[in-house]
Every structure is written in structure tokens, then in C-alpha cells.
Amino acid sequence: MCGRYTLATPADLISEHFDLPEPPEVVSRYNIAPSQETLIVGARRDRRRAAGLAVWGLTTSSAAASGKKPLINARIETVDQKPAFREAFSRRRCLVPADGFYEWRIDPHGKTPHYFSLGDSRLFAFAGIWNQPAADCDLVTFAILTTEPNQIVGPVHRRMPVILPRDHYDLWLAKRELSRPETEIFATPFPETRMESREVSPLVNSPANDTATCIQSVEGS
């Protein structure tokens, strides 16, 4: 799964990377957690991209009415089959800007957080889906898709977020259903040779801690 991530890249670089008409209003975030509001990028009807804020945790009007918890992740292998995700995957895909994410390794001593990035804090995008639970409400919610881990994430966790190559952004945002072969392309784990990993402080365990200290390497890791 993916339960925490970072977005500390300056707004002008976000705008350039995602080809946005203007820089989004963002502040540096080092511990984005479920239920919090953060940035997503989608395509308009004219195919131009637009950025906006959304709450991490996909929900629908029926799920909210029944008291079901919002869903923060969706498996890419079954997203087109699950009722909770099927329509959003078909019609409402988005890019989730990030520059790193956390996973926890479970061992006899407890849970140890690790931070994964593309090196040099480079910006990238998770594959996301979004929904508006009610037509008369401005609230937008989203989930991040996950896939099998690559060799750098695998020793820490059995799943990893779907990281999209930049040249696949347009296909992911296309206003049409994806074919099964296209979906399988996105299910391919991002290459471990292009990623970095380090053990970080347990400070990240609490969403109340949202500073650059969260991503600093633990000495000796």
C-alpha cells in the first residue's frame, strides 16, 4: 500500500513538470497522510491539464451514507473490476504529484519507516483515481493505485504505488477507458535502478510531524 508521501517541490517546478497554465498554490509537505487535502492533476475536456486540491481517501455517496471508510489505495490489477473503483478508473483518472513516499518494514522490533524517492528529490506522479461523492458538493476525493513491488521496495513492503513515467501521463489522463493491455503497462513496477531508499526517523509515524526532518536518513542506515 501507500500510506504517506511527500510533495516539497516548489510550485514553479510543479507547474513546469505537469504543463500547468500557472503554478499551483502549495506549501512544502513532508508527511502527507490519508484524510488530508493535497494536490492532484487532471485533464479538462480540451485536454489541457488543471491542478486542484482533493482529499486523500476515495469515497462515494453510497459509501459515505453507509459509514464505510474512505479508500486510500486501489490495486491496479483489479481496479477495473471492483465496484468501489470501476467507474472512477474508467472516467476519472488523475496524476498525484509527489517527490517521495514512505513504507514500513515490519520486524521483531516493530515497524521501521523507509523513504523512497527518484533521487535528488525529483518530482514524479502516482497513478490516481478521483471522485466527487455528491453532485452538489465541491469535495473531491482520490485514491492512489498500487502494484507489485520492485526489488528496492520489496524487502520493505509487499506493495508499492504505481509511479507513472512522464511520457505516459497523457495516456493515463485520456478521456476514455483503458484496454487491458494498456492497464498492464501501468501495472509494471517502476524500475528500481531509478530509485533510492533510506531508513528514516520514526517521527514520520505521526501525521502531526510534517517537517523536513521526516525524510532525513537515520545515521548508519
Q: Which is catalytic among the residues 2, 77, 137, 199?
A: 2
Q: Return the beta strands (E) in the chain as ranges.
A: 4-7, 29-32, 37-43, 49-56, 73-75, 93-98, 100-107, 110-117, 124-131, 141-147, 160-161, 163-164, 196-199
Is 103 annotated in the active site?
yes
C-beta atoms surrounding 52 within 10 Å = 13
C-beta atoms surrounding 85 within 10 Å = 22
Is 2 annotated in the active site?
yes
Taking the alpha carbons at both ends of the chain, their separation in whole angstroms is 23
CB 9 within 8 A of CB 99: yes
CB 87 within 8 A of CB 132: no
Q: Which is catalytic among the residues 22, 25, 103, 214?
A: 103
Q: Known catalytic residues? A: 2, 103
